[in-house]
Amino acid sequence: MSAPTLRLGRLDPARFVVGLAVVGGAVTVVGVTVATSRQGPVTAGLPDAGPLTGLVGAAARMVTRLAAVVAVGGLLVPAWLVTAGDVPSRCARAVRAAAWTWVGGCVVSMLAASAQALAVPLPRAAVVPRVWAFVAGLDEGRALMATAVLAALVASGTRLARTAGDHLVLLGVALLAILPTAMTGHAATAALHVAVSAGTAVHVLAALLWVGGLVGLGLLGRAAGLVPAVSRFSGLALAAVLAVTLSGLLSAWWRLGADPAAWRSGYGALVVAKTGLLVVLAALGAVHRRHTLPALRRGSARAWWQVMAIETAVMGATLGVAVALGRTATPTRRGVVALPHGGVTTVDRYLPEPTVLRLVVEPQGSATAVVTLTVGLLLVGLAVSQSTAPRRDVLRGAGLGLASVAVLGWLLLGGPGAYGSAVLLMHGAQLVLAAALVPPLAVAAARVLAPAASPAPRAGVADAVLAFAALCLVVYGTPLLRLSLSSEAVHTTVVVAAALAGLPVARRVRGADRRLGVLLLLGVGLALLVVLARWPGSFAPDWFNDLPLDWADPVRGTGVSERAG
């Protein structure tokens, strides 16, 4: 029986992407205007960057949100929604353009955030060196820097990605790129930091998959694989709706509680508006599942695209409200105590002196790591559900994939994670272990679950090690080390980047080449650890000097209590 022919008329599905950007941008301008009008006049005599700086920052944030949505949607198509033969070429072009736009939006957001902090008006701030130098001193600036690097990896990776497995890896990087900025702001200053941060990240990731999936279907357009792609997306959308709803309700309750005054504030009003829009989206999703999806399978696509047009516009409005919500101060309610230093610290001041056992089992709480591992589990689940291998092989592949996530979880949440920002040598060991242990398990899982998506690389053995060697030089030879030690999100990103840098060696075919590649990788790692152990005072000494730990001072060998005396 042949597949039904879709009757789309003259409707171009790509217009939905444009509509999302226009509607989202318009709502952002309105929302930011309303939010900033409630903040009151500027105190006389104090310097101010001016209203233009805030509006430019909000517009740049909106651009980054839209670019992330388009990038994720374009990657979902080849990674999950359709087979390789049905992917339009414009999906790759859309991902590449969106990813570079994402990078540009991050750069503008950095400039606007630093200019506001230093009260330097735009556009003069763009030519003031101290404005750019101050970016690394802001939590938001560091988060945007990490996001820009990961978005650039996505943009560059589209030139090399050929298989569903390649696009699945890029999809994971794109989802990871949204985390640093999602973990700053209100989530970082909440009283229940880990709970609120994890809930916020889950909310953002689920919404990104949901909205991005719709954009992916719009990019797919009239392709022959639209009907099976819609069927695949239907299940993913249902899970995303549940995750968005639950995480959104919990985050709102943790921030506002049952305080009526908090809900009557500008922040509370935006939360109510966003909730209402999510209810509308859930209702439109139900219409899709009950009516338009069966009609689409029968070959009638008009009702599907009509409902999707409304859904896309509402999603654009929701993104605009989300940006306005991020720029609105959270009301202080009874029982909430502000945490020092933004509520975020990478080192527990009561962390005990390391022993061999503690370096292995000491627990570490990290919301960024928890959400990163959730993304890893999601990727394993997608790979398992997409696999056509026999049942026994699927179970073995799932076990290998879960093992790779478990090892990464130990590095981030176990002893290495607890001491990674307090002991320089353990920080280096994290990167070496991530590159040596996680990729072999992940590659073995991919070869079992999707053999065709895991071809052997063509680069030489030495070239395969260059990625990890370059990462070590960048981390320990630039200010990125200081950012990694002081920022939870950047630290998680660096460890995950080390795991990705080990993939070229793990993808080598079995035999002498692979053994040589592993030996070279371990050699680079050993050389790194020797340098860190021999010259610890050459790497971020100010950070280790200021740690609130009596035993942690690798430079002078004295503790906080002795320095205070």
Higher pLDDT, 197 or 339: 197
**Percent of the chain clearing pLDDT 70 (strictly above):** 72
364 vs 418: CA distance, rounded Å: 5
Phi-psi label, residue 370: left if phi above 0, alpha if psi -120 to 50, beta otherwise: alpha
Higher pLDDT, 28 or 109: 109
Burial of 198 (0-12, 13-18, 19+ CB in 10 A): buried
Residue 194, pLDDT score: 54
Residue 564, pLDDT score: 36
User: pLDDT (tens digit, 9 = 90+) per residue, 92-133?
Assistant: 888 999 999 999 999 999 988 888 888 888 878 888 888 888
Sign of CA dihedral 270, 275, 278, 279: negative
User: pLDDT (tens digit, 9 = 90+) per residue, 156-178?
Assistant: 888 888 777 788 888 888 988 88
* 10, 66, 125, 176, 398 from 215: Cα distances, Å: 19, 10, 35, 19, 29
For residue 487 the two structure tokens come to 């920022």
Task: Tell me the three-class secondary structure of 301-327, residue by residue.
Answer: CHHHHHHHHHHHHHHHHHHHHHHHHHC
What's the DSSP call for residue 10?
T
Average pLDDT over residues 339-344: 35
User: pLDDT (tens digit, 9 = 90+) per residue, 409-431?
Assistant: 999 989 898 888 888 999 999 99
Question: The whole model's pTM is what?
Answer: 0.60
265 vs 281: CA distance, rounded Å: 25
Contact yes or no for 169/502 (Cβ under 8 A)? no
- Average pLDDT of the chain? 75
Residue 547, pLDDT score: 75
Residues 6+ apart with CB under 8 A from 282: 241, 245
Residue 258, pLDDT score: 61
Measure the CA angle with vertex 486, ends 481 and 487; round to 5°.
100
Query: Which amino acid appears at position 526 of this protein?
Result: L
Rounded to the nearest 5°, which phi and psi values hold at 556?
-105, -15
DSSP, residue by residue, 143-184? HHHHHHHHHHHHHHHTTT--SHHHHHHHHHHHHHHTHHHHTS
Residue 454, pLDDT score: 54
Integer Rg of the chain from CA: 24
Residue 315, pLDDT score: 73
Q: Kindly give the residue spans of alpha helices, DSSP state H, lying in 38-86.
A: 51-76
User: pLDDT (tens digit, 9 = 90+) per residue, 440-469?
Assistant: 999 888 888 877 655 555 556 676 788 899
User: pLDDT (tens digit, 9 = 90+) per residue, 499-553?
Assistant: 988 888 887 655 566 778 888 889 999 999 999 998 888 888 888 877 777 675 4
User: pLDDT (tens digit, 9 = 90+) per residue, 290-335?
Assistant: 777 777 666 666 676 767 777 777 777 776 777 667 667 666 544 4
44 vs 65: CA distance, rounded Å: 35
| Maximal C-alpha separation, the chain | 85
207 vs 158: CA distance, rounded Å: 23
406 vs 156: CA distance, rounded Å: 28
Contact yes or no for 179/489 (Cβ under 8 A)? yes
248 vs 351: CA distance, rounded Å: 33
Residue 335, pLDDT score: 41
Label residue 38 by pLDDT band (50, 70, 90): very low
Q: Single out the residue of 22, 3, 7 nearest to residue 309, CA to CA.
A: 22
Residue 329, SS3? Answer: coil
Whether 225 has a pLDDT exceeding 90, the answer reads no
* 20, 66, 320, 328 from 316: Cα distances, Å: 5, 9, 6, 19
Measure the CA angle with vertex 380, ends 433 and 83; round to 5°.
125
Higher pLDDT, 25 or 38: 25
173 vs 497: CA distance, rounded Å: 9
Contact yes or no for 79/30 (Cβ under 8 A)? no
Label residue 193 by pLDDT band (50, 70, 90): low
Cis amide bond preceding 123, omega within 30 = yes
For residue 256 the two structure tokens come to 């506002």
Q: What share of the chain is helix, strand, coil (3-state, %, to 5)?
A: 75, 0, 25
57 vs 66: CA distance, rounded Å: 14
Whether 4 has a pLDDT exceeding 70, the answer reads no
User: pLDDT (tens digit, 9 = 90+) per residue, 178-188?
Assistant: 888 877 655 44
* 285, 384, 440, 524 from 392: Cα distances, Å: 35, 12, 20, 37
Whether 358 has a pLDDT exceeding 70, the answer reads yes
Whether 222 has a pLDDT exceeding 80, the answer reads no
